[in-house]
Amino acid sequence: MTKQLPALFREKMIDLLGENEFEKFLESYDQPRSFGLRVNTVKVEKADFLAKSPFTLSAVPWASEGFYYEEGERPGKHPYYHAGLYYIQEPSAMAPVELLQVRPGERVLDLCAAPGGKSTQIAAKLQGEGVLVVNDIHSDRVKALVKNLELLGVRNAIVLNEKPERMLKVFHGYFDKILIDAPCSGEGMFRKEEEMMQQWERHSVQEFASMQRELLGQAAQMLAPGGMIVYSTCTFSPEENEAQIAEFLDKHPAFDVVPVEGFGAGRPDWLRAPWCEEEFSDHAREAVAGTARLWPHRLRGEGHFVAVLRRDGATVEGDAGSAGNAGDARDAGRAVDVVSASGKRSGREALRKGRAETSTRAAVSLEPLLAFSGELLRSEPFAAERLVCYGEHAYASPAGLPELHGLKVVRPGWYIGSLHRGRFEPSHALAMGLRMREAKRALSLASSDERALRYLKGETLEVAESEIIRDPEVTKAAKGYCLVCIEDHPVGWGKWHDGMLKNEYPPGWRWT
């Protein structure tokens, strides 16, 4: 492996680290990489998962729900994975969200979110309270982002496919916390993904540095007073790390670095030629020592850089809470709106009448959705959100959002299902976001039951009526939609009738 490292990269790291530490750094490339998973506390308590886990796990020191698993184990090929009980994630990549210090009820932005590992980690910290906006500029990567949010049962996320500069007016001063997991040259991933070396040779560090500079400036405009930004990369280059933070501090005096402990310190001494030609203030140079570097020869993980930036509490014109801004998600009452496919609201009156206009003027009845909810759900799990309809598709959108008109919205909230020709078809996302106790009809299979795997493969199952879990006082009928679970954790829908469960598991999700 070490023989394949690009020659220019080797020369640069020798200059930065010195001969002695470079030799230790180099040895790490011949060591086996570490494998990690993160327990998804949106769906399962950590202690409950550990009690049932079939894997050999040891704690990741910097991630409260993170664990190493042994090479050769295959957590992606277990029914628990399909139930969304954990996310497979490189251990060092868990650090940025831990340092973001997300609290339930906050408004959080993941600016460069695909494929969604850090987004789902943020969602677990929010515990269904507050607003999570996730964005990625690459439309081809957004599908994976949406799927991971749905798999892990996230209810309170908005998914955008937008250029950050187009988000500034809508979200000016809106967010309490922002994560920038910035596009970078990927030097820290050379051991994990050898193809990153070829990409490194094709793309210049300065090309990424330019993008990173813009992202930091844009994020600063969307942060509320007293808010926090975590900037992270998976590269070693000081041009993309300390230099970005030093330049940002000099241009944004309202911000300062929150020192990070427990990892290698940032390197102000690397702000020098030939790598960094810019001039920085003494304050900025001193502050970057409080950033963090995760080195593969010093810990069990790949290479990362993390900086925690806090904005002071001074309010400026146009910040969140000023006149004209959307209501606060933490103190707003329930808002129920119907939105047409064109984005126009048809208002509360339309919902009361059970009908909404689409952009083609065709009326869409909400009665099937209300009937489904009454028949199958013990309570309305989206009662705290706005119910919005885009054409035939219904979503539960977090309250307190500003108007999203003009933005490329992939998901305006938790996707509930579709309304078509007087019928309601519940979405797979609805099933994954529910708890078994919220359904009036459910089937719970043991992970060892061969029917669990057959269900995940899309097969029809033989299920006795006595296996359908229901409260006779709530619903006597076993026939109809049923929430299918693996050990009480939802994995999808089925339709039960006369001892047979028709499989509603989506083809694109099936076990292969």
- Per 3-state DSSP, what percentage of the chain is helix, strand, and coil (rounded to 5)? 35, 25, 40
Is the distance from CB of 227 to CB of 310 less than 8 angstroms? yes
Please tell me what DSSP assigns to residue 377: B
**One-letter identity of residue 507:** P
Please tell me what DSSP assigns to residue 339: B
Q: What are the two backbone dihedrals, phi and then psi, of residue 27, each rounded to the nearest 5 degrees?
A: -60, -30
As a whole number of angstroms, the distance between CA 482 and CA 490 comes to 10
As a whole number of angstroms, the distance between CA 161 and CA 164 comes to 9
Half-sphere exposure at residue 24, Cβ-oriented, CA atoms within 13 angstroms:
9
As a whole number of angstroms, the distance between CA 7 and CA 283 comes to 35
CA terminus-to-terminus distance, the chain: 32
As a whole number of angstroms, the distance between CA 512 and CA 9 comes to 39
Six token digits for residue 479:
């026939």
Cis peptide before 506 (omega within 30 of 0): no
Which strand ranges, in their side-by-side order, compose the sheet holding 86-88? 57-59, 66-69, 35-39, 86-88
Confirm whether 112 is a catalytic residue. Answer: no
Closest CA to 157 of 112, 114, 122, 117: 122
Closest CA to 326 of 485, 172, 143, 465: 172
As a whole number of angstroms, the distance between CA 431 and CA 415 comes to 10
Six token digits for residue 246:
């030093």
Dihedral angle, C-alpha 325, 329, 331, 333, nearest 10 °? 100
The neighbouring-strand residues paired with 68 are: 36, 58
**Among all residues, which ones are annotated catalytic?**
234
